[in-house]
Structure 1
Amino acid sequence: MHTSISRTESRTTSALLALPAEVRIAILEYVFDDNLRKSGLSLQALLACRQMYQDGSIVAFSKTSFIMSSLFGNIPERLLVLHTKQVEAIRNISFVADARQFRGLINWSRYPFSMPNVRLDKLTIILHPSSSWHYLFDFTSGVVELLRDLHNVRRIFIIRNNARVKGSFKTWYNRLVGMIMKVDHHERYEKSPRNPEKMWWWWSYDEVAQSLCLEARPPKPMMDEESYMLMMQPLLEEWKVSVENEEWNPDPRSRMMYY
Structure 2
Amino acid sequence: MDDSIIRVDSMEPCQPKALLAIPTLLDLPAEIRVRILESVFAGNAYHDGLKTHEATGEAVLDEAYSVNAFLQPLLSCRQLYADGSLLAFNRTAFVANSLFVTNIIPERLETLHDKQIAAIRSLTLVADARHFRKLLDWGEHPFGLQSLDLDTLTIVLHRSSFWHYLFDFTTGIAHLLRSLRGVKRLVFVRNRALVKGSFKAWCNRVIGLIMKFDHHNRYDRSPPQLETVWWTWSFDDVAQRFCLDAMPTKELVDEETYMQQVLPLMEALRDSIENEEWNPDPRSRNGA
Class of the TM-score when normalised by the shorter of the 2 chains = 0.7 to 0.9
Residue in structure 1 matching 2:24, options 1, 4, 12: 12
The 3 A distance-change label for structure 1 pair 82 and 204 is same
2:180 counterpart SS class: coil
Q: Does 1:98 align with 2:128?
A: yes
1:202 counterpart SS class: strand
Q: Does 1:22 align with 2:25?
A: no
Size of the alignment, in residue pairs? 245
Q: Does 1:242 align with 2:272?
A: yes
Residue in structure 2 matching 1:197, options 227, 231, 235: 227
> What does residue 221 of structure 1 align with?
251
> What does residue 261 of structure 2 align with?
231
> What does residue 149 of structure 1 align with?
179
The 3 A distance-change label for structure 1 pair 38 and 94 is closer
Displacement, 1:61? 1.1
1:43 counterpart SS class: helix
TM norm structure 2: 0.79
The amino acid of 1:185's aligned partner reads H
Displacement, 1:31? 1.3
The amino acid of 2:75's aligned partner reads L
The 5 Å alignment of 1:119-158 reads: 119-158=149-188
The 5 Å alignment of 1:72-83 reads: 72-73=100-101, 74-83=104-113
Q: Provide the rounded CA distance (Å) in 2 between the counterparts of 1:179 and 1:38.
A: 33
| 1:89-144 Cα shifts (integer Å, max 9, x gaps) | 11111111111111110110100100000111110000011211111111111001
Displacement, 1:42? 3.2
Q: Provide the rounded CA distance (Å) in 2 between the counterparts of 1:8 and 1:48.
A: 22
> What does residue 257 of structure 1 align with?
none
1:246 counterpart SS class: helix
The 3 A distance-change label for structure 1 pair 131 and 231 is same
| 1:203-258 Cα shifts (integer Å, max 9, x gaps) | 00001111100000001001100010000000001111101111359xxxx9xxxx
The 3 A distance-change label for structure 1 pair 57 and 4 is closer
| 1:140-171 Cα shifts (integer Å, max 9, x gaps) | 11001110001110101100011111110010
> What does residue 201 of structure 2 align with?
171
The amino acid of 1:53's aligned partner reads Y
TM norm structure 1: 0.88
Q: Provide the rounded CA distance (Å) in 1 between the counterparts of 2:70 and 2:205.
A: 41
The 3 A distance-change label for structure 1 pair 145 and 25 is same
Q: What is the Cα-based RMSD across aligned positions, in Å?
A: 2.3
**Structure 1 runs, 4 residues or longer, greater than 2 Å off:** 3-10, 21-24, 34-50
Q: Provide the rounded CA distance (Å) in 1 between the counterparts of 2:253 and 2:266.
A: 18
| Structure with the greater alpha carbon radius of gyration | 2
The amino acid of 1:32's aligned partner reads F
Q: Provide the rounded CA distance (Å) in 2 between the counterparts of 1:168 and 1:37.
A: 30
Q: Provide the rounded CA distance (Å) in 1 between the counterparts of 2:20 and 2:93.
A: 34
The 3 A distance-change label for structure 1 pair 202 and 7 is farther
2:224 counterpart SS class: coil
The 3 A distance-change label for structure 1 pair 206 and 128 is same
Displacement, 1:37? 4.1
Q: Provide the rounded CA distance (Å) in 1 between the counterparts of 2:5 and 2:226.
A: 66
The amino acid of 1:18's aligned partner reads L
